[in-house]
Amino acid sequence: MADAEHTRHLRDLRVPEVRIVSLGALTTQETGGEVLADVTSNLISVEVTRNASGPGEYKLTLNNWDQHTRTHKYNDLEVIRFARRLRIDMRYLADQHEMIHDTNAKAPGWVPMIAGPITDLQFSFGSEGSRLSVNGEDDLRPLKDHNLDAKKFKSNELDIISKILRDIAHYPLELTYRKNPPAWLAFFYDEHNKINETLAKGQSYLNYVQKFIDKYDLELYLSFDPPDQVTSPQRQLLNLMPSRAHDGPLELIIILRYGHELLDFSPTIKVADMFTSARVRGRNLHRDEPSGVDGKATVAYVQAEVNAYCEGTEKLVPAPEVRRRFFPGENPSDDGEKTNLDEYRAEATARTTLLRKSRELVVVQASTIGLPRLRPRRYVRFEGIDPLFDGVYYVTTTTHTWGSDGAKTRFTAQRAGLPLPAAQKGTAV
């Protein structure tokens, strides 16, 4: 349960604030930034959506009418113009603890939410007056551009992705990745374990990288560094990491209590579609290995993940076993013949298939008071709802809003296990 350190910040909350910052070209070392005071003063609402993997989005709604000059403020496409990079910051005015439950946040300051170019403008002239909706994406947007000519590679996956981003897409941010890979992903980094790959003509760079993300349970995302040094210019990092969903909480868990910080809570449990195992087969990519490859993943992978979510005497039944309990019989996933396989890649692909399906067992849609630091790839713990749903979950999507009704955070979280009653009593599944 939450102690005094976790809850004392509630009484310190002040007025939520937003500011819009204009940035220059995307570079490895981001410098400066101009606060657009006029744009900020004309804000009607703000919405920022971030995902555990892939581009984020933002939407600004602005008053577009100047009553004094009787003209439209932004129709000249000067201040608000396509491709201009904006950064959106949020905070609570004069709050000494800008993130509830974060006892390390001692100084007030702005929290950078997203940075990226303006992509679309929507003008509105109606009963609510002249308004402008500004839509943008984060700085992964350049990776949606399409490749001009086909390129062939023979290397490990990490090297191929790095070359595409650096040498072909000319993406300015250096790829940050985990230096000590988990054993099951060692091939991804191994310069001696090579595959043949082709980046097709007309294929987007992001679409190509997504193929590896989907096969090996990865997450591609941008983050601000350092996240707590809010008084200095923010540098962004491009990250390609194994999904944190299976690591368990490595840092502070954000505690959300029903009837307090938590405004609404809507969980969905899917059981019938759960896989009880996964299998990936194909021809070995190494010509000196004529036999086929058969990679398998069992419930043990899911059990290891949900064990990391448990605290004290808690026990979670993994999704494949939940499925077996209510729907007798097996429901294996068999993706058929695959290419570019060896025994390690086949097992990693099967592992990803089983884990990603299992994480759909419990999916929560919820909202809370505005928490700028509640981001994807973090963990929350729900308290005071019901034993079936209380506990730790992995956050996959967040949408932060600011407007006339204050600041709120909607989010999606998931978990690959359930505390079924029999498991709580110690009965074998």
Other beta carbons within 10 angstroms of residue 254's beta carbon come to 23
Q: Exposed (0-12), middle (13-18) or buried (19+): which is 135, by Cβ within 10 Å?
A: middle
Q: How far apart are CA 190 and CA 168, in angstroms?
A: 22
Cα distances (Å, whole numbers) of residue 53 to 3, 21, 245, 394: 33, 24, 12, 13
Give me the sheet containing 332-341, strands edge to edge: 292-297, 277-284, 332-341
Sorting pLDDT into bands at 50, 70 and 90, what band is 422?
Answer: low
Mean local confidence (pLDDT), 344-369: 96
Banded pLDDT at 290 (limits 50, 70, 90): confident
Distance CA 173, CA 77 (A): 28
> Is 95 a residue whose pLDDT tops 70?
no
Of residues 244 and 334, more confidence is placed in 244
Does residue 122 sit in helix, strand or coil?
strand
Q: What is the mean pLDDT of the chain?
A: 87
pLDDT digits (tens, 9 = 90+) for 173-214: 999 999 888 999 999 999 999 999 999 999 999 999 999 999
Confidence of residue 226 (pLDDT cuts 50, 70, 90): low
Query: What is the model's pTM?
Result: 0.90
Q: Are strands 379-383 and 391-403 parallel, antiparallel or unpaired?
A: antiparallel
142-245 fold: Phage tail protein beta-alpha-beta fold (3.55.50)
Percent helix / strand / coil, the chain, rounded to 5: 20, 40, 40
CA neighbor of 219 nearest in space, from 193, 192, 246, 199: 246
Write down the domain spans for the chain. 4-139, 142-245, 246-423
Classify 195 as helix, strand or coil. Answer: strand
Residue-level pLDDT at 200 = 94
Nearest Cα neighbor of 137 from 232, 190, 58, 26 is 58
pLDDT given at position 224? 85
Model confidence at 87: pLDDT above 70: yes
According to DSSP, residue 204 is labeled B
Indicate the pairing of strand 262-269 with strand 362-369.
antiparallel
Q: What is the three-class DSSP state of 270?
A: coil
Instruction: Kindly list the distances between the CA atom of residue 38 and the CA atoms of 34, 144, 151, in Å, as whole numbers in the listed order.
Output: 11, 31, 46
Residue-wise pLDDT tens digits, 116-163? 999 999 999 987 789 999 999 999 999 999 999 999 999 999 999 999
Per-residue pLDDT at 340: 83
Average pLDDT over residues 275-302: 89
Q: What is the pLDDT of residue 4?
A: 37
User: Is 374 within 8 Å of 399 (Cβ atoms)?
Assistant: no
User: Angle of helix 299-307 relative to helix 319-326, nearest 10 degrees?
Assistant: 120
Q: What is the pLDDT of residues 259-283, one digit of tens each?
A: 888 999 999 999 999 999 999 998 8
* Residue 12 pLDDT: 46
* pLDDT exceeds 60 at position 424: no
Residue 20's alpha-carbon distances to 73, 79, 87, 182, in angstroms, are 16, 12, 6, 39
Mean pLDDT of 60-82: 92
Band (164; pLDDT cuts 50, 70, 90): very high
